Amino acid sequence: MTFSVIVNLGIFLALILFLYRLQTKYVTFTKRVFAGLGLGIIFGGALQIFYGAGSDVIKTSIEYFDIVGVGYVKLLQMIIIPLVMVSIISAILRLNGGTSLGKISGMTIGVLIVTTMISAVVGIAMANLFGLTAEGLTSGAAEVARGEMLENRLGSVEAMSFAKLMIEFLPANPFLDMTGARRTSTIAVVIFSVFIGIAATGIARKKPEAFASFENFIGVAQAIVMRMVTLVLRLTPFGVLALMTKVISGSNYADIVNLANFVIASYGALFIMFGIHLAIVAMVGLNPMRHLKKVIPVLLFAFTSRTSAGSIPMNVQTQEKHLGIPSGIANFAASFGSTIGQNGCAGIYPAMLAVMIAPTVGVNPMDFGFLITLVAIITVSSFGVAGIGGGATFAALIVLSAMDFPVALAGLLISIEPLIDMGRTALNVSGSITAGTVTSKLMGQTDMEVFNSDEEVNLDGEDATA
């Protein structure tokens, strides 16, 4: 370990101690998350300026920063399955056999699919507005390697029909899915948990003592899991600091400038879709600005971590504690939203790529038939996209192969992929929260006292006024 790396680690530890100091002074959770974000940007920028892009010192330093950043994300992933299981089972027990289960799941998935269709249209519009095209883009060694990798993955994608994808949702081995081994593992665990909940309520009359014991067990398990969630979420400001430092210090700004049009068009589409989410919230009778204020911390985490699945615990807590959404709906929305109907990764991104690539194969990107086909394919392919890094690539492969477009051209965007993926992930999470918000409000289950409260509710369980 060189002296420069030791100095960088020393500064990083000092920033960690500063954030911990804010926690001991009971500074609110939101302010600490923003502090971690700001410090990460400043520190990462300073490393980039001082050592230069691609420096070995930065690469080595990032390996140690990952102990905090990647370690935090792994802890979140650790609690996803227990949280989803106990919360959904508990919700079904309260629903007395799941009488409202069909409405909740149907409405949640419906909102996710509709917003994905809208996001595809927005992505198409922005790509055409900016005149984006893959014609004339140069390919460096990294881009060529990326293109070859995408072509190698194409075979497995082409073999995956919509029917086969639906079958993949079913948990043939629920214990395997509890390890997160498949990209559809989260939905498989949800389905398994639903079966457990319905089976338990089925014995309520015949074996009331057994049902009471099981209900009590789930109550205890939920209390323990929620305490675990609180403990992990307390680390959020530190995780955001490490993740943001990594992104800023490891970015190649020259490549970003060369593809500035795509970056600007992408974020333009993302911001428009964020606005549409707020408009949908307003349409169901809720204050969109109040909603936005309450969801900002989880969106910031999704932005820095680039993982929709890893955001599930904070997503659920935000919906419950800030928006007044019942636990069952919050868990359904967060779980489904991490795999189905991702507005950023499965909607905007593949739509823009398809429009860019269309001219290279002689297709008019403004042709009505092309646009209708593209939106339909994007909507269907949005099922089963993994809520982790690489999910957008998988979605793009499905769409491009279905359109019979060359997938290797998508490799030209490798240099700006992390930057755009940050915004896409935040939009994915916003979409799942919107689905939960709309479902809860339309079913009359939103606690308006919680939603309208201006009191800061710390997701890490600490009293902001203590």
CATH code for the domain defined by 3-452: 1.10.3860.10
For 293, residues 6+ apart whose C-beta sits below 8 A from its C-beta are none
Nearest-angstrom CA–CA distance, 293 and 290: 5
The pLDDT assigned to 396 comes to 78
Encode pLDDT of 327-357 as tens digits.
889 988 988 888 788 899 889 999 998 998 8
Specify the residue for token string 């490393």.
Answer: 47
- Whether the pLDDT of residue 45 is over 80: the answer is yes
**Across 254-258, 280-284, 360-364, least confident range:** 254-258
The C-alpha angle 208, 212, 216, rounded to 5 degrees, equals 170
The mean pLDDT value for 210-215 works out to 91
* Mean pLDDT along residues 288-314: 89
Phi/psi region, residue 23 (left: phi>0; alpha: psi -120 to 50; beta: rest), is alpha
Give me the pLDDT at residue 277, please: 97
Predicted structure pTM score: 0.77
In tens, the pLDDT along 95-125 reads 654 557 778 888 998 999 999 999 999 999 9
Residue 323 is predicted with a pLDDT of 95
Give the pLDDT confidence score for residue 385 in this predicted structure. 62
CA-to-CA distance for 51 and 289, rounded, in angstroms? 41
Whole-number Å distance between alpha carbons of 397 and 295 = 31
Q: pLDDT value at position 451?
A: 94
Please state the three-class secondary structure of 114-134 as a single string: HHHHHHHHHHHHHHHHCCCCC
* Most confident region among 15-19, 189-193, 377-381, 454-458 by mean pLDDT: 15-19
Mean pLDDT of 32-58: 89
At residue 456, the pLDDT reads: 64
* Cα distances (Å, whole numbers) of residue 50 to 12, 248, 416: 15, 13, 22
**Residues of the chain with pLDDT > 90: what percent?**
35
Residue 409 scores a pLDDT above 50: yes
- Interatomic CA distance for residues 43 and 34, integer angstroms: 14
Among candidate residues 191, 239, 159, 15, the one with its CA nearest the CA of residue 88: 191
Contact status, residue 183 vs residue 397, Cβ threshold 8 Å: no
pLDDT for res 187? 77
Residue 176 has pLDDT above 50, yes or no: yes
pLDDT in tens, 114-159: 999 999 999 999 999 988 887 655 454 444 454 455 555 545 544 5
Confidence of residue 17 (pLDDT cuts 50, 70, 90): very high
Determine the average pLDDT of the residues in 436-460.
85
pLDDT at 431: 95
Q: Which is nearest to 171 in space by CA: 154, 185, 159, 155? A: 185
Mean pLDDT of the chain: 83
The pLDDT value recorded for residue 119 is 95
Q: Which of 11-20, 250-259, 333-342 has the highest mean pLDDT?
A: 11-20
Question: Can you tell me which residue has the tokens 């994915």?
Answer: 428
pLDDT of residue 466: 31
CA atoms of 140 and 411, how far apart (whole Å):
10
What average pLDDT does the segment 84-96 reach?
Answer: 77
- Of 394 and 290, the one with more pLDDT: 290
251 band by pLDDT with thresholds 50, 70 and 90: confident
Q: What is the mean pLDDT of residues 185-204?
A: 85
More confident residue, 258 or 203: 203
